[in-house]
Amino acid sequence: MTGITRMIERLQRIYPSPATAEALAADIERCCQAFCDNRSSSRLPRLARWSEDDVILISYGNSLQLPQETPLQTLAGFLERRAAGLFSSVHILPFFPFSSDDGFSVIDYRQVNPELGGWEDIERLAASYGLMVDLVINHCSRESLWFADFVANREPWCDYFIEMDPSTDVSGVTRPRNTPLLTPVHTHRGVRHVWATFSEDQIDLNFANPRVLLEFVQILLLYVERGARFIRLDAIAFLWKRVGTPCVHLPETHEVVKLLRDVLERVAPDVVLITETNVPVAENLSYFGQGDEAHMVYQFGLPPLVLHALNRGKSDYLTDWAARIPALPGGCTYLNFTASHDGIGVRPVEGLLPAHEVTDLIDCMHRFGGFVSMKANPDGSQSPYEINISLFDACMGTRRGLDHLQVPRFLCSQAIMLAMQGIPAMYIHSLTASPNDLARVEQTGRTRSINRRVWPADELEQLLDNPVTPQAEVFATLARMLVCRRQQPAFHPDARQEVIRINSDLFIFKRVDDTSGQVIHAIHNVTDRPLDLPLAALGFLTLGLRDLLEPTGEWRLGCVLTLAPYQAVWLTT
């Protein structure tokens, strides 16, 4: 089957009209051919899609600022001075002109926000790191030119958005927010109500109009042309709407993801497509398709389960979940993270954590200065959607209260993420042990701002230079972990993972690289007590063992491994 034939068949599952599918396929093929004809010969494809060397840093374009530089220049300089050799890739959160939500309400998809810098700054980063770019595909800003033309009833943009009679019953639509789904807009045709899943400033796009899909194929190709190695499909689960359904994970949405992968396979087969779907685990994994959809999905169950284990001092639920992670389709892997620009989602643990455990965790996070965002349910009620807190401050104690073990508890959370099967992504505010930013919450009025600190770069540098600060201790320890992690074949995303059950005080899994023969046991004490682990309990038959995180430590058969509170060990022969 030729590429164009497969594309037509794919598009006919989205748009039933054969004429529409054929015309759109021809337009997309012309875009792909133009991209290939104009592609720079300096962009060479990668020999492999990923390896153990892959570690991603997540940052806003303005997470670090100096008055005499653009923020993107400041970030690049910080990475060169402080983080050389620590990360292979950088995820710059939406760096486009925007009107709200710290970038996720995009005004212009094809421009860099001049307050951050320009395309030359993005390309500078892309020259040194694999670049992850957000394709904010579900919605755009009501301040965009597209929406202005919709308001003015100009072709073709008058059909770029979804109008709905306000009397329509939309109570069955799955909601990630508790705001009204339909928002009124004054247009040249009078007041119209448009679909707005996330906020009244983020208006959903109408992908039932094939022109909208073509527009985003062109935007996707622009990002690849500018150096993107990873494309993150933001809020993709909500893309297609059909009244009478939950309007989430609809078949047309999955077909759009597969189409975008087909486009990438055609023009840049080494580029990785990632879906961002903050939903229960089984729904999240559906975006692998049959190995023909996303290359990577976010491991959304990991952050709340790791936090729960460290907060509770018991690994039972984390171990049970990890032991049931299904085998990956070929050419697919997970993106592992414990913190991000968003909060710590609680929907992914539906069916994994009992309701009272979730409630207890939320109550504890409230005591540590955090908040909780709510979502609307079909029956009119509300339920927790995510916890808003910096991960560093989420680790300041346990359910029994505050203690002095915040730093080792937090570092244990990062060691778990770095060792698990997949590609780890570390939020810059984890790297810098950023505390809750309550002043920013008060300034913006948004609880998510608690974990979106904007550091004056000189202030952060002073903290990192002072060895007694938690920022310096965390940064230095994570730097050693990252350098070590990137050298281990057993941490290749495709290396096997096996969970080992000893007791609820420990979270243990084994990583095995069949090519090199390397085996690493990742052992984590999730309690605030010292623990003794007889090495025979792990079935070791070798005399010489060492901890990659503490290379001077060595154990022999029959010895006992003594773990400090929250200590992580990467044990190998």
Which tokens sit at 59?
A: 């940052």
Q: CA-CA distance, 298 to 275, in Å (whole number)?
A: 7
Count Cβ atoms below 10 Å from residue 269 Cβ, excluding itself. Answer: 11
Q: Is 101 annotated as a binding residue?
A: yes
> H or E stretch including 460?
helix 457-465
Q: Is 448 annotated as a binding residue?
A: yes
What beta strand segments (E) does 137-214 contain? 139-141, 182-187, 190-195, 202-204
Q: CA-CA distance, 488 to 548, in Å (whole number)?
A: 9
> H or E stretch including 408?
helix 406-419
Q: Is 232 annotated as a binding residue?
A: yes
Among candidate residues 204, 234, 513, 547, the one labeled active-site is: 234
Q: CA-CA distance, 275 to 163, in Å (whole number)?
A: 26
Cα angle vertex 127, ends 64, 62, to 5°? Answer: 15
State yes or no: is 234 an active-site residue: yes
3-state secondary structure of 492: coil
Pairing of strands 423-427, 333-336: parallel
Q: Is 139 annotated as a binding residue?
A: yes
Number of H helices, E strands in the chain: 17, 27
> H or E stretch including 200?
none
- Provide φ and ψ at 250, rounded to 5°: -70, 155
Intra-chain end-to-end CA distance of the chain, in Å: 49
Q: CA-CA distance, 360 to 358, in Å (whole number)?
A: 5
Query: Which residues, 6 or more positions from 119, have their beta carbon under 8 angstroms from its beta carbon?
Result: 112, 226
Question: Which among 149, 157, 151, 260 has a CA at the least distance from the CA of 211?
Answer: 157
Q: CA-CA distance, 185 to 163, in Å (whole number)?
A: 10
401 Ramachandran zone, left/alpha/beta (phi>0; psi -120 to 50): left
> Could you tell me if 8 and 22 are in contact, meaning their C-beta atoms sit under 8 angstroms apart?
yes
> Could you tell me if 370 and 388 are in contact, meaning their C-beta atoms sit under 8 angstroms apart?
yes
Q: Is 316 annotated as a binding residue?
A: no
Q: What is the CA 66 to chain-centroid distance, rounded?
A: 27
Q: Is 342 annotated as a binding residue?
A: yes
Query: Which residues, 6 or more positions from 459, have their beta carbon under 8 angstroms from its beta carbon?
Result: none
Question: Which among 536, 501, 508 has a CA at the least distance from the CA of 522?
Answer: 508
- Provide φ and ψ at 225, rounded to 5°: -60, -35
Q: CA-CA distance, 227 to 237, in Å (whole number)?
A: 26
Query: Which residues, 6 or more positions from 540, have their beta carbon under 8 angstroms from its beta carbon?
Result: 557
Binding residues: 101, 139, 232-234, 341-342, 448
Binding residues for substrate: 101, 139, 232-234, 341-342, 448
As annotated, the active-site residues are 234
